[in-house]
């Protein structure tokens, strides 16, 4: 280990993070903060029910757990070689959940595992996502779209970038709900969202505008390019098939955002284009 066992214990006890020393299978030492997290008096108390800290990693979301390893792999080696800091979800003895980043260092054949509590950061990220994301489709909601729109509008005015907008409305969506039920209707919205998302650039801004209406903001895109993009998406939707879902079509309204636009002019123009397309159904119109 580092030096003598007593010296090592003294060193790790002053570190504010929970720490264990392990060979990858058995824990040989831990610090006071580790004991405090699990509300136990000694390492022996922990070892009565758990051979290693890795057995406390819960399988949850994208957090690291033993399930992702091959049987012969040491979890410590996996974390040590990982390009990113692995996150783990752990319940203490009082069933309190915490999320930790793991850092592993190899020392004299053993592994020093440092656990950094990021629970508060993860909760803040979750709350931020909740506030900015449509709960059904998991894309941006209208509130977040408005924020990003203002940012792109500033780029347009400052740098002279081109900027275009596409409004999308699913044709006869009320008939889908009335005929197949709202669960199927929800699945249609989710599938359409995934289909469109796969065919957008990383800098395109896609949001649910409300109900069966969606909106796409296309930075550095002129109207001709936006029309071509809209037409491609329209055809993808028209030709899309998925077991258990009815076939749908959608109408598109396209416009380019101008420096001279005042307040809601852009959205009014896009909405008029969409209305024009809706009169023909499964069409694209531009203004």
Active site (catalytic) residues: 212
Say which DSSP state 65 is in: -
Long-range contacts of 45-54 (CB under 8 A, 24+ apart): 51/25, 51/26, 51/27, 52/22, 52/24, 52/25, 52/26, 52/27, 53/20, 53/22, 53/27, 53/113
Say which residues have a Cβ less than 8 Å from residue 159's Cβ, sequence separation at least 6.
none
Q: Is 202 helix (H, G, I), strand (E, B) or coil?
A: coil
Report the 10 Å Cβ neighbour count for 172.
15
Q: What is the rounded end-to-end Cα distance, in angstroms, of the chain?
A: 72
| Pair 12, 29: CB distance under 8 Å | yes
Place of tokens 């209406």: 213
Neighbours of 25 (CB within 10 A): 11
């Amino acid at each position: 280990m580092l030096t003598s066992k007593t010296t090592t214990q003294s060193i790790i006890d002053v570190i504010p993070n929970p720490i264990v020393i392990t060979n990858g299978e058995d824990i040989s030492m831990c610090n006071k903060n580790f004991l405090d997290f699990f509300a136990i008096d000694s390492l022996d108390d922990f070892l009565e029910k758990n051979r290693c800290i890795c057995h406390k990693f819960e399988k949850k979301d994208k957090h690291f757990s033993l399930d992702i390893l091959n049987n012969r792999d040491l979890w410590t080696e996996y974390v040590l070689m990982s390009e990113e800091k692995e996150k783990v979800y752990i319940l203490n003895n009082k069933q309190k959940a915490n999320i930790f980043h793991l850092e592993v260092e190899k020392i004299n054949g053993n592994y020093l595992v440092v656990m950094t509590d990021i629970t508060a950061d993860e909760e803040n990220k979750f709350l931020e996502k909740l506030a900015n994301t449509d709960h059904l489709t998991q894309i941006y909601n209208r509130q977040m779209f408005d924020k990003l729109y203002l940012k792109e509008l500033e780029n347009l005015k400052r740098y002279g970038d081109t900027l275009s907008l596409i409004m999308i409305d699913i044709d006869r969506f009320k008939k889908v709900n009335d005929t197949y039920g709202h669960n199927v209707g929800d699945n249609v919205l989710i599938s359409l969202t995934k289909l469109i998302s796969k065919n957008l650039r990383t800098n395109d801004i896609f949001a649910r505008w409300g109900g069966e209406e969606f909106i796409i903001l296309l930075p550095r895109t002129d109207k001709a390019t936006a029309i071509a993009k809209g037409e491609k998406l329209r055809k993808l939707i028209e030709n899309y098939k998925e077991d258990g879902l009815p076939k749908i079509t959608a109408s598109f309204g396209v416009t380019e955002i101008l420096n001279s636009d005042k307040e809601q002019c852009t959205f009014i123009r896009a909405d008029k284009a969409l209305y024009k397309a809706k009169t023909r159904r499964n069409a694209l119109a531009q203004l």
